[in-house]
Amino acid sequence: MFAGTHMGLYKRSANSGKWTKVDLKLEKERIADLALKEDTLLVLSRHYLLKTADGNNFEKIQLPEPVNYERKTGLFNTLWELHSGELFGLTGKLVVDLLGIVTIFLSITGLLHFFFPKWIKRRKRKKKPVRPLAKATKTNLRWHNVVGYMFAAFLLITTFAGIHLRPPLLIAIANKQVGIIPGTHLDSPNPWFDKLRRVQWDENLKQYIFLPPTDFTALKNH
């Protein structure tokens, strides 16, 4: 028995009943689908098709280019990876994590700047010293502005990408295709990179049927 998961392929022993991970020798082992073709197990990752007849030795197959293939990807996918930072690998993810911390900092300092004047007025009415609070107000505003100016461009870019990932703006980009940005995570020689979701062998057509995220594409069995 086999199970395909986001963490890889697992095999269950008939004797012990234990699950063990199968080494597929893939950089990313996220499994999209499993299927059978006669006595052959088909294992579909997001990027490659693998097949095995004995459950131990797997043949990795990079699918050929589709007819009239162009090196493009969905605008939604590009914006998704830009928003998550994955477009630029680990560095991009860390930058986006940092922007999350910056957003929290700006939110807190913004709220403090809103409430500080009220606290100062209240203390003045009670004839209490306000100099420490006034000094804190200036310091808070200064760091709010400094950090905001430093990261404004990055925050605008991630926000722009993020607002297009959900309706209504998602509708405008859902079917748009754009060129692949060189040197990014999407820049792969594999034409099916991150595009495979389902696989099935059609006995009548003698074809594999693959389901990318948006449409069906049939590839003849060679």
Going by pLDDT thresholds of 50, 70 and 90, the confidence category of residue 211 is confident
Same domain, yes or no, for 65 and 94? no
Same domain, yes or no, for 107 and 11? no
Domain that holds residue 59: 2-69+191-220
List, as one string, the DSSP characters of 102-169.
HHHHHHHHHHHHHHHHHHHHHHHHTT---HHHHHHHHHHHHHHHHHHHHHHHHHHHHHHHHHTSSTTH
pLDDT for residue 222 is more than 80: no
Same domain, yes or no, for 99 and 35? no
Task: Check residue 62 and report its DSSP letter.
Answer: P
φ and ψ of 186, to 5 deg: -85, -10
Q: How many domains does the chain have?
A: 2
- Map tokens 């939604």 to a residue: 76
25-49: per-residue pLDDT in tens? Answer: 888 889 999 999 889 999 999 999 9
148-175: per-residue pLDDT in tens? Answer: 999 999 999 999 999 999 999 999 998 8
Predicted TM-score (pTM) of this structure? 0.75
